[in-house]
Chain A
C-alpha cells in the first residue's frame, strides 16, 4: 500500500519547474484562443427547439439553450478569459471562467444531434488548469508578484507544477486507450483484418464528415488492402498501447509522436477535425530540457536558489511565503 502511494505521489507530485507549466499555459490558452477566435457559437441559439437534443450534462443539470444574443455575449467573455489566461493576468479568475464558459460553449453543439469528441480533452485541461498554479511563471501575475516580493520569485520546483502536466498525459492516454478498446469491443480484430478501413476511407469522400479530408489519398490507401489493414493495425495499436507512454520513456518517444501523426492522418484522409486535440500536445514537450538547451534562464529554480544562498552563505535562507 505504501509503495503504491509512493509511486502515485512520485508520478503526480515530483517537483517540477514552474516555467514548464507556465509555458504550457501560454501555448495552450493562446493557441486555443487563436483556433476559436473566428468560431461563432451564437447561431446555435437561433434554431428551433426541435433541434435541441440535450446530452447528459445539459439534461442532468438543466442547462438551457440560451438565445443567440446571450451566447454571443458569453463567447465574448470566454474569449477574453482565454486571452487573460494566456498572458497570465488575473489568471485564476480567467482560467475558471474559461473552464465554466468553455464547457458550456464547447458542449453546446453536441446537443444538436451528434456528440463529437474533438474537444473533451480541451474541457478537461481547462478544468485542471483552473485549479492549478499555472500562473506562477510566464505570466503577468508572476511578474507583478515578483516586483512586490522579489525574494519569493521565481518559485522553487514543486509538485504543483507537475500534476497538471501529468493530468494531460493521463487524460490523453485514457482517451486514446478508450477509443482503441471501443474498436476491439465492437468489432474485434475484424476492424483490422477486414475491408473495414478501406470502405471507411472511401465513404469519407462522399461529403459526410464534419470536415473535408485534407487530401484524397484515402482512395489510394483503400485501393491497397494491405496498406489499409496495416494502417488499421497501427491505429488500434497506437490507441490501446498509448498509456505505456506514462510509464516508459522509450514508449513515450514512439507513441506520443505516433499519436500525433495518427491524428494528422485522420484529418488528412478522413476529415474529422482533431485540431483542438492536437493543441494539447504542448504538454508533452519536455520544456525543462528545451529551455536548458536553448540557453534560456535555468529552469531548475531550486538549483539557482542554492547558488544564491551560497554567495550569501552567512545570511539565513528566507522561507518562501505560501500561496493560497
Chain B
C-alpha cells in the first residue's frame, strides 16, 4: 500500500511541483494586479467625483456580482470569439486580478473610511494638498487597518487558483491518466494547505511588524 503511494508520488511529483509553481505564480500576479486595480478603485469611491465614483462602483459590482468561474470561462472561451486571444496563464492572471481587485477595493474602502475624516481635515490644516494627505496620512493608516482583511484575500486567492486548474487542469489530467483521482486530489489539497499555512505565517509577520498603538482592527475571518 505504502509502496503504491510512494510509486504514485514519484511518478506524479514533477507535475505536482509544476502545478504548485503555477499556483504561486498565479496567486502572486493576481494579488498584485488586485492592489493595482483595487486601491485606485477604493480611492475613487471615497474621494472621486461622480463619474469616477460610478465607474469604480460599476467595476466592483460587476466582478463581485458574478461567479469567478463564469468570469474565467468568458475570458477563456468568450473573448477569443471576439478575436482576442490570450495565453492561458495570462488570461487567468488578468481575470483573477480583476476579480481580486474588486474585493480588495472594498477592503481598502472600509479601511479608508475607518481612518476618519478628522485626519484629512487635520492634514489639510497643516498645508498638505489632498494628494499629500492621502499619501502621507490616510493610506499609511488605512493600509495597516486593511491588512487583516487583505491576508484573508491572499489566502482565498491561493485557493481560487484551483478554479483555474479546473479549466486548465493539471490535476484533472493527472487524475485521468493514473486512475487514482482520490490520491491526486488529496495531494493537491495537502499542497494547498501547506501554501495557505505559509502565506498566513507571512501575513501574520507583516501584521506584527506594522503594528502601531491605536491602529489595530479586529476583522472576522471567514
A and B part of one assembly: no
Chain B interface (Cβ within 8 Å of chain A)? none
